[in-house]
């Protein structure tokens, strides 16, 4: 495929945008080469500025659960746009989507809408600290909760030490309150809590990780976290920015039957527009301003265009009782096809899958945490990525990102993808 227009646009963008992109992974630094510039999308396909068509497995990093330009979402946004794009005042629409979200998700009484998943997770941490009157949090290596200072923390010098900043601009003072645990390792979490007794406000986790590839929780891990939190007056925060309304109508809480204290949302909840949210039971949420002392605000929070898109998306999900099964079956079909194609060519690999999330790791070991994910052969992944891209298959430009399946994918699309994998595998 030719990417002449994209190359020219990228060169132009670098003059006025840092790195030429407004989110780092888009720059293709992890895989090399020049990023493609999107021009339009429809259903399961995305079209670039050079006129190339790609079967899309990023789907705007998750929200396009029902395909690009999903007509009910598009229609809702157009209709709402004609009435005004922003008011800075409450609207009935905000209550309508809040009522639907609360009805769909277990164990929440109230929800606060914000503008991004980063903002939702940042606010959830502040709320947890206000509720518990404790300062420290535990997060997990490889889990990404946005670019708020508290989350940009690297490993410390030992298993029970606090972390260190892994981005300039994050202070040591902030880092000292963030403890870094190992995903799927309950004993490591216990050690951190023991070493920081009565100091930890919250444990925040992607209940299914998507930022080190797709990594589901091992059996008993989430249950163990729930027990630990109950025993130590710690709030359990599920970052369901990726998984919320995707793996089940009620997210991982519903899928696994485990209640979190605070849940964060993004992606699907906005129907493709910039929306985040966090939710909890009444006694926690009532601490938020204007009811309580924990301050959080946003001029564009509850924006009518974003709320109309989110409401149309949630209604479609809620009304389609076969959706989650179809998504899971398509993802399983893709999994089996890719496995067969790679096995034919003796390519060492591990595939992780849950619901409509899947990732291919070029490693012959089980991938259960960031450490094991990092052992994958990145050179093989780079060849795999560019091989698929040149055959019209667009996957995440990083070995540490999950793929997202959309219901707009047909089995013909899946077969085309599997055939492309088989061809690419011959050159790996």
Enumerate the active-site residues: 144, 239, 267
The DSSP output letter for 273 is S
Q: Return the H-helix or E-strand segment holding 55.
A: strand 53-56
**Phi, psi for residue 294 in degrees, rounded to 5:** -85, 115
Give the residue from 201, 196, 205, 114 showing the smallest Cα distance to 158.
196
The CA–CA distances, whole Å, from 371 to 11, 190, 272, 350, 368 equal 35, 19, 32, 14, 8
Phi, psi for residue 276 in degrees, rounded to 5: -135, 170
Name the residue among 335, 275, 349, 263 with its Cα closest to residue 307.
275
Decide if 82 contacts 318 (C-beta within 8 A).
Answer: no
Q: Is 93 helix (H, G, I), strand (E, B) or coil?
A: helix
Radius of gyration of the chain measured on its C-alpha atoms: 21
Closest CA to 304 of 124, 135, 77: 77
């Amino acid at each position: 495929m030719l990417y002449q227009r994209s190359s020219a646009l990228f060169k132009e963008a670098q003059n006025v945008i840092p790195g030429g992109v407004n989110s780092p992974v888009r720059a293709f630094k992890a895989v090399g080469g020049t990023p493609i510039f999107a021009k339009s999308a429809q259903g399961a396909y995305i079209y670039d500025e050079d006129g190339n068509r790609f079967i899309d497995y990023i789907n705007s990093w998750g929200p396009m659960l029902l395909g690009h330009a999903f007509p009910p979402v598009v229609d809702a946004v157009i209709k709402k746009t004609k009435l005004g794009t922003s008011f800075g005042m409450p609207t009935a629409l905000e209550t309508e989507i809040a009522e639907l979200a609360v009805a769909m998700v277990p164990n929440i009484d109230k929800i606060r809408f914000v503008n991004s998943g980063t903002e939702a997770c940042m606010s959830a941490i502040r709320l947890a600290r206000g509720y518990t009157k404790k300062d420290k949090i535990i997060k997990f290596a490889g889990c990404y909760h946005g670019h708020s200072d508290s989350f940009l923390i690297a490993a410390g010098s030992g298993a029970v030490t606090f972390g260190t900043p892994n981005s300039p601009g994050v202070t040591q003072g902030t880092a000292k309150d963030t403890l870094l645990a190992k995903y799927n390792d309950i004993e490591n979490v216990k050690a951190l809590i023991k070493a920081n007794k009565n100091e930890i406000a919250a444990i925040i986790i992607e209940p299914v990780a998507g930022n080190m590839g797709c990594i589901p929780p091992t059996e008993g891990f989430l249950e163990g976290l729930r027990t630990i939190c109950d025993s130590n007056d710690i709030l359990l925060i599920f970052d369901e920015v990726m998984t919320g309304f995707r793996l089940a109508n009620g997210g991982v809480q519903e899928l696994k039957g485990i209640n979190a204290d605070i849940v964060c949302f993004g992606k699907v909840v906005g129907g493709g527009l910039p929306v985040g949210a966090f939710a909890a039971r009444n006694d926690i949420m009532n601490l938020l301003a204007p009811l309580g002392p924990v301050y959080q605000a946003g001029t564009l929070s509850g924006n009518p265009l974003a709320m109309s898109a989110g409401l149309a998306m949630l209604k479609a999900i809620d009304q389609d009782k076969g959706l989650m099964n179809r998504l899971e079956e398509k993802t399983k079909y893709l999994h089996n096809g890719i496995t067969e194609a790679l096995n034919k060519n003796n390519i060492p690999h591990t595939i992780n899958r849950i619901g409509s999330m899947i990732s291919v790791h070029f490693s012959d070991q089980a991938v259960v945490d960031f450490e094991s994910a990092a052992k994958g052969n990145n050179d093989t992944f780079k060849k795999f990525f560019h091989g698929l891209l040149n055959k019209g298959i667009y996957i995440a430009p990083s070995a540490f990102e999950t793929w997202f399946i959309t219901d707009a994918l047909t089995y013909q699309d899946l077969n085309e993808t599997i055939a492309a994998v088989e061809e690419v595998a011959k050159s790996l």
